[in-house]
Amino acid sequence: MKTLELPTEDFRRLAATVVELCSEYLRTLEDRSTFPGVTGPESERLFNLDLPEGGMGDQAFAALTDVIHNSRCQNGRFFGYVQGSGDPIAALGDLLGSILNQNITAWRSSPAGVTIERTVVRWLSEAVGCRDFVGTLTSGGSAANLMGLAMAREAKMPGNEHGLYNQAVGVIYGSEQVHMAVPKAVALLGIGRENLRYVPCDDDYRMVPSQLERAIRQDEAKGRVPIAVVASAGTVNTGSIDPLREIAAIARSRGLWLHVDGAYGALAAIAAPGKFDGLALADSVSLDPHKWLYQPLDCGCLLYREVGAARNAFTYTGNYAKQLSSDPVEGFAFFEESIELSRRFRALKLWLSLRYYGLRAFRAAIQRDLDHAQRLAEAIERSASLELLGPVELSAVCFRHILNEYASEEVRNHFNLALRKRIVARGKVYLSNAELRGKFCLRACIVNHRTKETDIDAVVSEVLEIAPKVASELAI
Ligand SMILES: Cc1ncc(COP(=O)(O)O)c(C=O)c1O
């Protein structure tokens, strides 16, 4: 019978097998399809097997090739969602982090781990121009937004002790383009989604400050309590950046917390700080290194100005977890500033990756993504068959095929939906989708350090090549 003891020599041999698989995967990445040609039933047949009662030993590793072949691959032609490309150096950090199995609860649990996380958080805050902010790494932007809004709610409308019963209605403001993570957070915090105001946007999908101020005044007049405004620094659809400085002034004058959802875009401040004027005026900012710092999932971050606000929201310490040291380093505990108690060593990959390449290399890669987006937008505008459907502020490009000049909006939507499905299935380039003012868009989002100009050019050629085939199949 197998025990859970693993001889070091077996580990060395198996690790070499995995490293070889990873290396071969990376070597062949650019030739791989961006989407595996697998169906639901096939993936069930391959992986939904019975739990083995007896160990399979080395045979367990044999199925890893199936895992690789049936995974979506982030080569230079992957432009879906806001999905970073996954730096392999960081992946090596993840491996060591798991072997060390550090629990990043408090310095006493992991002196190196906690110090490294505090260090990378400082590096990130300095890199995006939010010097003196502190914070924590999170599982992603959704968790960071939830934590930022939890701090806001507790600061402006305390409910941790007595709940929110018998209190006035609290209100959160975001633009019409705010990410779905925000209504989710508003619901989880007991504020209620009907108390999230969707402030109208201008033609470039940026929140209109005067409309924000109007909405706040209306709520105040009705006796409600405006809690926070969520400004987007990179909306998920078009990468639009709300006018942060103006929104910060309104938030400050009316006593609201300002949370900036920078999960998609704010790390681009490393390359283009001018686009993010006013970012440092926020009370809290979410960032996603697993998006635009090319880190393997998961790696999000919440930055905040006042550590007291984080403690106010999150400190609740059982006797068994009390700190025995008042030293600012040795007595530090992330769990007093975070939702989580047990936390993985996320910082190690980011620390290793930033040390290995240096910030300059990341700045250049982000700038390349920004330039690639402009290149794609120009190619779309040059094509009589394509139409750009939104501004290209950062690296998201929304467009469609017009089919022909007589096609109705309904037919165009139907056609582009089918077109996208076919493009994804072909696996040459991967596009996701968006909807802007009722129009179905093909959407390329470029947060990919592997992308070359030829990969960008492949987008338009692929769309133009497939369109006539899809149109004739649909008989339109
Ligand atoms: C603007 C914005 N906010 C929040 C999120 C959620 O981030 P995560 O997927 O890391 O939870 C995303 C994800 O794409 C996003 O684009």
Cα 331 to middle of ligand 1, angstroms: 32
Distance 178 CA to ligand 1 centre (A): 10
Give 199 Cα–ligand 1 centroid separation in angstroms.
Answer: 19
- Cβ neighbours of residue 401 closer than 8 Å, sequence gap 6 or more: 385, 386, 387, 412, 415, 416, 419, 442, 463, 464, 467
Low-confidence ranges of the chain (pLDDT < 50): none
Best residue for ligand 1 mutational test, from 264, 294, 398 (most atoms within 8 Å of Cβ): 264
DSSP for 371-385, written as a single string: HHHHHHHHHHHH-TT
Domain ranges of the chain: 93-357, 360-474
Give the pLDDT confidence score for residue 37 in this predicted structure: 87
Q: Which atom of ligand 1 is nearest to the CA of 300?
A: 10
pLDDT for the residue numbered 223: 96
User: pLDDT tens digits, residue range 388-442?
Assistant: 999 999 999 999 999 999 999 999 999 999 999 999 999 999 999 999 999 999 9
CB atoms closer than 10 angstroms to residue 42: 12
User: What is the C-alpha separation between 130 and 281, in angstroms, rounded?
Assistant: 8
Which CATH class, in words, describes the domain spanning 360-474? alpha beta
Pocket test for ligand 1, best of 137, 178, 179, 230 (most atoms within 8 A of CB): 179
User: Which sign does the torsion angle of CA 468, 425, 83, 26 carry?
Assistant: negative
- The alpha-helical segments, DSSP class H, found in 80-132 are 88-100, 111-127
Q: Angle 334-335-336 (CA atoms, 0-180°, nearest 5)?
A: 90
Cα of 260 to ligand 1 centre, how many Å? Answer: 12
Residue of 142, 260, 293 to mutate, ligand 1, most atoms within 8 A of C-beta: 142
Q: What integer pLDDT is reported at residue 1 of this predicted model?
A: 65
Task: Give the count of beta carbons closer than 10 Å to the beta carbon of residue 449.
Answer: 21
The alpha carbon of 406 is separated from its chain's Cα centroid by a whole number of angstroms, namely 38
Sole residue written with tokens 């977890």? 321
> CB atoms < 10 A from the CB of 232, how many?
31
> How many CB atoms are located within 10 Å of the residue 268 CB?
28
Sign of the Cα torsion 298, 146, 445, 356 reads negative
Specify the ligand 1 atom closest to the Cα of 81: 14
Helices (H), 28-87: 40-47, 64-69
DSSP assignment string, 432-472: EEEEETTEEEEEEE---TT--HHHHHHHHHHHHHHHHHHHH
186, 232, 244, 261: which to mutate for ligand 1, most atoms within 8 A of CB? 261
CA of 295 to the centre of ligand 1 (A): 14
Res 321: pLDDT? 77
Residue having the nearest C-alpha atom to atom 14 of ligand 1? 82
Task: Give 309 Cα–ligand 1 centroid separation in angstroms.
Answer: 23
| CATH fold of the domain at 93-357 | Aspartate Aminotransferase; domain 2 (3.40.640)
Could you tell me the distance, in angstroms and rounded to a whole number, from the CA of residue 433 to the centre of ligand 1?
A: 15
Using CA positions, which residue lies closest to atom 5 of ligand 1?
A: 141
DSSP annotation string for 161-210: TT-STTSPPEEEEEETT--THHHHHHHHTTS-GGGEEEE-B-TTS-B-HH
Using the atom order of ligand 1, give the atom closest to the CA of residue 234. Answer: 1
Question: Which numbered atom of ligand 1 lies nearest the CA of 235?
Answer: 1
Atom of ligand 1 nearest to the CA of 290: 10
Calculate how far, in angstroms, residue 74's C-alpha sits from the geometric centre of ligand 1: 18
Burial 123-151 (b: 16+ CB within 10 A, else e): bbbebbebeebbbbbbbbbbbbbbbbbbb
DSSP state of 116: H
pTM of the model: 0.97
Ligand 1 binding residues, C-beta < 6 A: 82, 140-142, 145, 179, 181, 232, 234, 236, 261, 263-264, 288, 300
Distance from the alpha carbon of residue 111 to the mean position of ligand 1, in angstroms: 30
- Pairing, β 78-79 against β 170-175: unpaired
Distance 13 CA to ligand 1 centre (A): 38
- Contact partners, residue 130, CB within 8 Å, separation at least 6: 279, 280, 282, 285, 303
Is omega for the bond preceding 298 within 30 degrees of 0, making it cis? yes
Angle at 351 between CA 341 and CA 269, to 5 degrees: 100
Query: Given the CA of residue 144, which atom of ligand 1 is nearest to it?
Result: 11
Q: How far apart are CA 135 and CA 117, in angstroms?
A: 9
CA of 262 to the centre of ligand 1 (A): 8
At 317 the pLDDT is 81
Give the C-alpha distances (Å, rounded to integers) separating 149 from 118, 142, 203, 278, 426.
21, 11, 27, 19, 41
Q: Do 93-357 and 360-474 agree at the fold level?
A: no
